[in-house]
Amino acid sequence: MSRPSRLYSANTSTGAKHAELAAENFAAGDLAQAERSCRRALARGTSDGLLWHMLAAILLATGRLADARDAIARARRLSPGDADFANTEALLMERDGDSAGAANAWRSLLLSSPEHADAWYNLGRLALHGGHPREAMDLLLRAAQLRPQWADAYKNLGEACFAQGDVEAAEAAFQAVLQCAPGDADSLANLARLRQEADDYPAAFGHYRAALAAGTDDATLLRFALLMPLFSINGAEVAAHRSRVESNLAALTERALTLTDPSRGVATPAFYFAYQGFNDRPLMSALGDIVDRAWRPAPLPRVTPPARPRIAFVSAHFRQHTIARLYAPLLERLPRQDFDVAVLSIGQHDGPLATRIASAADHALAVPEDLHAAREGLKALAPDVVVYCDIGMDPWSYYLAAERQAPVQCVTWGHPVTSGLASVDYFLSSQLLEPPNAQDHYREQLIQLPHWPVLYEEPALPRSLTTRRDFGFMAGENIYLCPQSLFKLHPDFDAYLAAILRRDPHGVVVLIDSRAAWRARLEGRFACTAPDVAERIRFVPPVSSQDFGALLAAADVVLDTLHFSGGYTSFETIWAETPFVTERGAFMRGRVTAGLCDLLGLDEALAHGAEDYAARAVALANAGAVRDGMRAKLARRKRQLLALDDAVLSGFHDFFNVALAQAEQVRSQETAP
């Protein structure tokens, strides 16, 4: 929270002198002495607005809000037009939970005092914490312009730029903090996070070390412990870094860490571990145990359970996102005779998918991207069973699930890896996807539903008729498209790409660009791992979700990634009738596309090793019986993907009834005398 903007003035009144003395104590952190100075002056009959304002600031800082309101009201009566007093009054409104009223007060203040830096800053804070980083950037930049040496303004500006995805602006803002406050631990930690996102491992390592030396918090220590490069040169390097992370976590289990708001301080640094090709259960369980000991939020008041059993689905991706596409049809069609369905959407999302999901629920609640708001929202829904759709993809659902929010808690395959949390009871998967030893990969009890674990809907047609040339594909080229996120490209996959290009002199591997830093890292790796063919690995700009199907259709072959296969993308590839190649992985997350091959009888797409993968891909790319046969199968069989409803819905319904019976048993035990 911002400090009140002016605590004393340069005038020489008796009240001003006492206020100045109190302000010096306040700045030194001696709030008790500051309060005594104010009260002594007021007891002598010195009635000065500055004194009452100073006292209000002290009372606000020490959490005595009722007394602070009385003090600021007296200050305002003595100086009704004082902009700084109005700013402090708005801060009190914010602390009282009236963020909307505070924002209106600050906007009103700026109408009469447009150069008031604190009002711009406080509005920027509210916008940032309310999930509106673009708006926050403009407001905080204005505050920094009005007060160029204000470290807090630059710090929040950096957070807003980072949330908006403007990495360069975020880095400039955090560097500006260090100009104002050299050695600022928070900014060093934030620079480490930025360099980590850019996969600049040496720079991130250095910034983390500097932040720790400057006295940063335990959240930064935990992030540092989890640090490893995103794009390694080979599998051995991945394994070596991962071993170091596991050793770091083992060391942290011996320390008493404290996390205040881990959704901000720690966020989701474990997200990328799922793409490395290892059993994540040991690592994620170690992290889950550290979080369980280090984060102890205050319990929320008990809420009376609803009359009917209630299942709550939770995600921060109920918007124009793959998660929403996967779960919207399930939420709409899930039978309701035995229970209600609630939705907690983290983030204020607009758009047709967000509206569709909210309409599908019996009870829908949207909360800001804030852990406390999410905790309160889920508590208010009072679910018997919570279904987390994608633990690990955002910080809020991970730390929500780290608490016991309901008698039964489940996670599904939106992010197909164990949560590692002791507070999550079940992982919902499918017999069609899991290997024989699958329970070894999950801390949760694995539930293998007897059906495909998702409903698929016929996609909309592309917005326009798009040709290969529109994507930059030239006549005579065989296009091998890998449409997955760049971080899915494990170094083991390089040999597969190189084998294809060596077999097919007309072949071009196409990847979808995202971040310039990531592209540079991959191009450098390809120059080492496939130097003779690296020039035929190209990047195309990202396309909209509406045009993604057209891109798939323009390719000759779609290449599935190793260790972490396509999911929804593989459904779309089949629907586009584009031949593809995959290899069944060791873990469920690497077996989804192979599961679709099993479902539709597409054995020709299943490869075993780099050379077999390349041979199948080249055969499918070139005109002939192999390509024609697979395209014909895809055309005939793709509609089987639309015929899964009855089995999927009945399987989920049966599991939820079992989970609700368990929840009822838990609630009975809680209320027993």
Task: Say whether pLDDT at 542 is over 90.
Answer: yes
Amino acid at position 566, single letter: G
pLDDT digits (tens, 9 = 90+) for 183-225: 999 999 999 999 998 899 999 999 999 999 999 899 999 999 9
Assigned architecture for domain 310-449? 3-Layer(aba) Sandwich (3.40)
Question: Would you state the pLDDT for residue 463?
Answer: 59
C-alpha Rg value of the chain to the nearest Å: 28
Q: Name the CATH topology of 468-642.
A: Rossmann fold (3.40.50)
What is the rounded distance in angstroms from the CA atom of residue 141 to the CA atom of residue 123?
11
What is the rounded distance in angstroms from the CA atom of residue 3 to the CA atom of residue 433?
55
* Region 254-283 average pLDDT: 94
Task: Say whether pLDDT at 266 is over 60.
Answer: yes
What is the rounded distance in angstroms from the CA atom of residue 672 to the CA atom of residue 650?
33
Task: Say whether pLDDT at 11 is over 80.
Answer: no
**What letter would DSSP give residue 340?**
E
* Region 453-461 average pLDDT: 83
**What are the C-alpha distances in Å from 541 to residues 215, 374, 514, 576?**
42, 35, 7, 20
What is the rounded distance in angstroms from the CA atom of residue 645 to the CA atom of residue 457?
10
Assigned architecture for domain 14-213? Alpha Horseshoe (1.25)
Question: Would you state the pLDDT for residue 645?
Answer: 76
Q: Band of the pLDDT at 12, cuts 50, 70, 90? A: very low
Contact 109, 90 (CB under 8 A): yes
**What letter would DSSP give residue 644?**
-
Task: Say whether pLDDT at 555 is over 90.
Answer: yes
CA quadruple 601, 604, 610, 614: dihedral sign: negative
What is the rounded distance in angstroms from the CA atom of residue 113 to the CA atom of residue 135?
20
Residues β-bridged to residue 387? 313, 410
What is the rounded distance in angstroms from the CA atom of residue 452 to the CA atom of residue 599?
9
Contacts of 159 (CB under 8 A, 6+ apart): 128, 133, 170, 190
Question: Would you state the pLDDT for residue 249?
Answer: 97
Residue 35's closest CA among 9, 71, 79?
71
How many angstroms from the chain centroid is the CA of residue 520?
A: 24
- As a whole-number percent, the residues of the chain with pLDDT over 90 amount to 71
What is the rounded distance in angstroms from the CA atom of residue 437 to the CA atom of residue 134?
47
Three-state SS for 540? strand
Q: Helices then strands (H, E): number in the chain?
A: 28, 13
* Region 503-524 average pLDDT: 96
* Region 395-422 average pLDDT: 95
Q: Band of the pLDDT at 8, cuts 50, 70, 90? A: very low
What is the rounded distance in angstroms from the CA atom of residue 81 to the CA atom of residue 49?
11
Contact 158, 190 (CB under 8 A): yes
What is the rounded distance in angstroms from the CA atom of residue 591 to the CA atom of residue 435?
9
Structure tokens at 489: 């490209």
Residue 394's closest CA among 380, 414, 379?
414
